[in-house]
Structure 1
Amino acid sequence: MQTSSSTETDETIGSTGGAAAVVGREVEAAEESELSRRDRRAAKKAAKMAAESRTDRKHAMKLWLYVAPLLILVFLFSYIPLFGWIYAFYDYQPPIPLSESKFVGLQWFEMMVQNPAQLRTIGQVLLNTFAMSGLNILTSFLPVIFAIALNEIRAKWFKNIIQTLTTLPNFISWVLVYSIAFAMFSSTGMVNDLLMNLHIISEPIKFLDSPDQVWLKMLLWNLWKGLGWGSIMYLAGIAGIDPELYEAAQVDGANRFQQIIHVTIPQLMPTYFVLLMLSISNFLNNGMDQYYVFQNAFNQKWIQVLDLYVYNVGMGQNSLSLGTAISMLKSLVSVGLLLLVNWLSKQAYARRRHRLIRIQQSRIVYWVKE
C-alpha cells in the first residue's frame, strides 16, 4: 500500500512538475512574444522617426535652396558694399588709388557738425527727408481705403479695369513719369496750353519749376504711382477674412458700411501696423530716382532728400569720402530705427497679450461666481 501510495504521489508530483514546466515555457514564450512585439513596435517607431528625419532634412534642404538665391543677393549687394565704408576715413580723390590716399580719420564726420555751411545744408536735407517720409506715413492709410472701396465694386470687369489702371503706374520708371509730367505740366505743356486757350491764365504756371509746395507735389506723384500697388496686400487680407464674421454681422442687423467699420477694418489692422512699422524703420530711405528726375535749379533746396544729397555730394561735387561718411551715418541711424521699431512691436504684443490674459481671467472669475 505504501509503495502504491508513494508511486501515486510521485506520479502526482511528476504531473504537477510537468504542468509547471509547461506553464513556465508558455510564460516564457508569452514574454518572448511580448518582447518581440515591443521590439517590432520600437523598430517600426525608429524606422518611422528615421524616415521623418530624412523627410525633414529634405524639406529643410529644399527651403534652403529656395532662400539661397535671395541670401546670395543680399550678401552681394548689402554686405559686401559695407567694405566701402573705409572711404569715409580717407581723403579719396579718384583716379588716385585708395592705397595712395591720405588717411584723415574722422575729419569728414567732424566737418558735418563743425562747418556751419555744411551743417545748414544737412539740416535742410534732413528737414526735406523727414517731411516727405512723414507725409508718406501719414497717408499710409489711403491704400487701405482704396482696397476696401475696390472690394465693394460688384461688377467684376469694372473692378479689374480699375485695379489694372491703378497698379500699372508702379511698373513705370520715374524717368517716364517725369516725361509724362513734363508733357502735361511744363510751361509749354498741355495743361498750360489749355488754360491759356480758355483765357483762364495769361502766363504759363510753373508747375515743375516752382519751389512752392514741392513736398505736396512729390507726395501726389508718389500716391499716383504706388496707390494701386500698395492696395494689393490689403485686398489679399480682405479675401482672407472669415465669411462667418460677415454673416454674424448681418444677423445682428449690420449694414454694409457697419460691416466695413466693425469687421473689415479691424481684420486689416494687423497687416496695416506691420507695414507701418516697416515704413517707419525705412524713414530715412526715401529713394533717389523720384527726386533726381524732378529736381532743378529752382526747387533743389526743397526737393533734395538724404539719398539724393549723398549722390550730389559724391558724384556731383566729386567728394566720395564725404558722401560715404553721410551714407554711413544714415545706415547706422536706419539700423537704430529698425531696432527701436522691433522693440516697440514686442512691447505692444506683450501688452496686448497681457490684456487678453486679464480679460480671460476676469471671465473665468465671473463664471465661477455665477
Structure 2
Amino acid sequence: MLNNEVHALRRAHTSTSKSRSKVSDFFLKLWAFRASYLFIAPFMICFIVFILIPVLCAIVLSFMYYNALEAPRFIGWDNFRYMLSQDLILIKYALPNTISFALIIGPGGYICAFMLAWLISILPGIYRKWFTLALYTPSLAGLVAMSIIWTPLLSSDRLGYLNSFLLNLGLISEPVLWATSKEHLMNSMIVVTLWKSMGIGFLAMLAGILNVNPELYEAGRLDGIRSRLEEIWYITIPSTKPQMLFGAVMAIVGAIQSSGIGAALSGMNPTPQYAGHMIVSQIDDYGFKRFELGYATALSVILLLIVFFANKFANKLFGTKEGE
C-alpha cells in the first residue's frame, strides 16, 4: 500500500516537473524570438481586437434576442429557424437576388479585371498609367458620387441621357424605367457595379502580369507556344496565381458589399418590389430600422459563412499548391 502511494507521488511529481519544463521551454522560446513577435504584435493586436473578438461576439449574439434596449436574452436556434421558415422577404427576394447578383458580378468583374489588366500590360508605358488611372478611378467613387453620375443617365423620363439617346435613334417608343422598375433595376445594378469593379484586385493582377519574367515567354515560344491565348493559359495565369487569388477574394467581397447600389439608383429603400433587395439590405433593415439586432447578427453570420466558403473555393482554384 505504501509503495503504491510512493509510486503515485513520484508520477505526480514527474508530470508536474514535465509540465513546468514545457512552460519554461515555451517562455524561453518566446524570449529567444522576442524581436519577431514584437514585429507581428501590431497586426495580431488589430486582428484580435477588430476581427476575432467581433466575430466571436457576433456568433454568440446570433443565438440571442437583443433590441439594444433590454439585456440580451438567450433564445437558442430561434433566429435561424425564423430565417429558414418565416422570413419570406429573405427567402423570396434577398437570397435569390444576392446569389444571382454575386454569380454575375463576381466572375464577370473578375474576368473583366484580368482581361483589362492584360490588355493594359501590352500597351507602351507612356499610355499604361493613364489607362490604369481611368479604369481604377471609378472604384474610388462612393455611392453618392456614383449616383450623381448614373442617376441622370438612367433617369426614367425623356430627359434621361440613355432614354433620350435611344428615343432619338428610334430604338424605343417610350421612356424605360431603368432604375425604378422590377424588370430593369437588377440589370442596371449589374452594369454600374461592373463599371466600378476595377479596384485593388485589378491593380494586383496588373502588377502580377507586369512582373512575369519575360524569359518565360521566350522559353514558351521555343517549346511550341504560338499564340497570345496559349501564353495567357500556360504562362501568365500560372505565374500570377497569388495575385489572381487576391483578385478573386476582392471580387467576392465587392459583390457582397455592392447591395446599396439598388437603393442609390432607385432612390427607394426598400427597392421597387424588392428587385434589388440583398442579404446586406435585409441586415440593415432588421439592424438599423427594426432594432432586432440578434436576428440581424444571425443573418451576418450566415453571410460570413457564404463568403468563407466562396473564398475557400477561390483558394482551391488559384491557391499555390505544394511543389509549385
Is this contact kept in 1: 2:262–2:277, CA < 8 A?
yes
Per mean C-alpha deviation after superposition, the further-off stretch among 80-89 and 205-214 is 80-89
Q: By how many angstroms is 1:286 displaced?
A: 3.9
Q: Separation in 1 of the partners of 2:279 and 2:261?
A: 13
2:111 to 141, 145, 149: 141
Per mean C-alpha deviation after superposition, the further-off stretch among 159-168 and 317-326 is 317-326
2:120 to 150, 155, 174: 150
The answer to whether residue 169 in structure 2 is matched with residue 191 in structure 1 is no
Is this contact kept in 2: 1:85–1:325, CA < 8 A?
yes
- Residue 67 of structure 2 corresponds to 93
Instruction: Give the structure with higher Rg (CA).
Output: 1
2:193 to 210, 222, 233: 222
- Bigger relative contact order, structure 1 or 2 (CA pairs below 8 A, ≥6 apart): 2
Superposed CA RMSD in Å reads 3.8
Q: 1:217 to 1:71 in 2, by over 3 A?
A: farther
Is this contact kept in 2: 1:174–1:290, CA < 8 A?
yes
Q: Separation in 2 of the partners of 1:258 and 1:326?
A: 43
Is this contact kept in 1: 2:197–2:254, CA < 8 A?
no
- Residue 15 of structure 2 corresponds to none
1:181 to 135, 141, 150: 150
Q: Separation in 1 of the partners of 2:229 and 2:173?
A: 50
* CA deviations over 1:185-216 (Å, ceiling 9, x no partner): 21343333444566665532211112224443
Q: Separation in 2 of the partners of 1:258 and 1:172?
A: 33
What amino acid is aligned across from residue 137 of structure 1 in structure 2? G
- Residue 178 of structure 2 corresponds to 207
Q: Separation in 1 of the partners of 2:252 and 2:119?
A: 28
* CA deviations over 1:103-131 (Å, ceiling 9, x no partner): 5433322222332xx24632432111111
Q: By how many angstroms is 1:305 displaced?
A: 1.4
1:168 to 124, 134, 137: 137
What amino acid is aligned across from residue 75 of structure 1 in structure 2? I
Q: Separation in 2 of the partners of 1:200 and 1:71?
A: 58
- Residue 264 of structure 2 corresponds to 293
What amino acid is aligned across from residue 66 of structure 2 in structure 1? Y
TM-score for both structures, normalised by structure 1: 0.63
- Residue 285 of structure 2 corresponds to 312
Q: 1:329 to 1:298 in 2, by over 3 A?
A: closer
Per mean C-alpha deviation after superposition, the further-off stretch among 178-187 and 285-294 is 285-294
Q: Which has the higher helix share?
A: 1
Q: Separation in 2 of the partners of 1:213 and 1:270?
A: 36
Percent identical residues: 20
Q: 1:341 to 1:150 in 2, by over 3 A?
A: closer
